[in-house]
Amino acid sequence: MHTIEHWIAGGPAASVSAASSRTAPVYDPATGREQARVLLAETADVDAAVSAAAKAYETWRDSSLSQRMRVMFAFRELLARHEDELARIISAEHGKIISDARGEIVRGREVVEYACGIADALKGGYSDQYSRGVDVLSFREPLGVCAGITPFNFPAMVPLWMHPIAIATGNTFVLKPSERDPSASNLVARLYAEAGLPDGVFNVVHGDKTAVDAILDHPGISAVSFVGSTPVATYVHERGTAAGKRVQALGGAKNHAVVLPDADLDYASDQLVAAAYGSAGERCMAISVAVAVGDAAEPLVEVLERKARAVRVGPGDDPASEMGPLVTRAAQERVGGAVASAAEQGATVVVDGRDLKVEGHEEGFFTGPSLLDHVTATMDAYRTEIFGPVLAVIRVATLDEAIALINANPYGNGTALFTGDGGAARRFQRGVHVGMVGINVPVPVPMAAYSFGGWKDSLIGDSPVHGPEGVRFYTRPKVVTTRWPAGGNPAARGAAFAFPTAN
């Protein structure tokens, strides 16, 4: 049994006399056994991390763009070289299958690649002779110490949406990852150090609400990025902005996939099964609702049932597994309760994943895929974010009815449409009130050069992550107006008390 420490000022926090005395268990979800303890930060630990980051910022903010990009190129290569090690760490603590863990690392690495070209994203503007003898230029400056509070479901990818952009734009960073799967963040910190990032530019503090509140209240932190549930996103946004910080706060989701009668059902069902049950449904972009339009309903449910029953559930390190366990026993119980509630409220349980036992892993946090039919918008299985391998089918008569259903939902993270009709696709993508839309793509997570963020209760405030919006979030603009008076220029002499104009 080992203890996972913070990473502050370039090394494990023991080297800076960490104040932590409380710990929490880190489980192996496949066996249900405790495999490590993680330190839970006190306010003094957060203070130490912020102090280290503030000291590092004094020089990092003045580092050249070429230096920052060299670090990012080296970091990118190290992420690729250590992909297998990082994926196995994620799988061991989260439970997802190793190939899925590799996928999140690759998607996170794409943001690092975007950060490798940060010089282009930070280009300013210049206007020569805007007024007589007056030039105007603009550029963006870093904010200072920034922080990230990230969820358990993507222990590598979601933090990588944040800190590469923050660091490449000249900020320093304090990461508070989920205490359920904390080890990935410490490996990332070590890789940054190997890439040549100066001590204190990237720091990791592990913890619970005590650490979160210390980050939100700390006067030395300029900006906070958060991904998690909507209630906590709202709390983070309100408390962080009240303390004068910029806040990115991404919340929960209820993502719909609409299937039209003309869709290729074999293709659509493959995509839906993967999007609903991949990573045991523990994705904010998972498809949890299939909206079957008209005659698509019966054949869609039939093929979904067959494919849901065929999903191979097992430990994440088994190459034969397609879906691993849930992250905790509490998550397993919550998913079971959601299926039971759906049955009580009138849904048809077509496939029941409750009480699944995996041979040799009977105490693991496993549940099988569940498929619900005849779900309505008033049922709890539709209204709540289950965050597990449960796919609910709602039947509607028309595409317009499907769009109205999606628009009435309080969440607006991601949605998808399966069709061969370009006109229907265009009507859908223009009509839905959702931030990220896929056409024959079930999980429309934007590539790194674009920004990730939903609408409505899926994004508190108005700051998406990574891409151009991420650069804007971690920097602020500065505009400089210059004049160099020449001896023979009468406009440069004498006091002028009228408001200046561009003449």
Give 132-187 as a DSSP string: TTEEEEEEEEE-SEEEEE--SS-TTHHHHHHHHHHHHTT-EEEEE--TTS-HHHHH
Contacts with 349 (C-beta within 8 Å, 6 or more apart), sequence order: 339, 342, 343, 370, 371, 372
Active site residue 284: yes
Considering the candidates 121, 284, 290, 396, report the single residue annotated as catalytic: 284
Q: Which ranges of the chain have pLDDT less than 70?
A: 13-18, 487-493, 503
pLDDT of residue 15: 46
For residue 470, give both structure tokens: 């991420």
pLDDT of residue 490: 55
pLDDT of residue 498: 82
pLDDT of residue 489: 59
For residue 28, give both structure tokens: 């192996």
Query: Residue written as tokens 């939903």?
Result: 454
Taking the model in full, what pTM does it have? 0.95
Question: What distance in Å separates the CA atoms of residue 334 and residue 332, rounded to the nearest whole number?
Answer: 6
Residues in the chain: 503
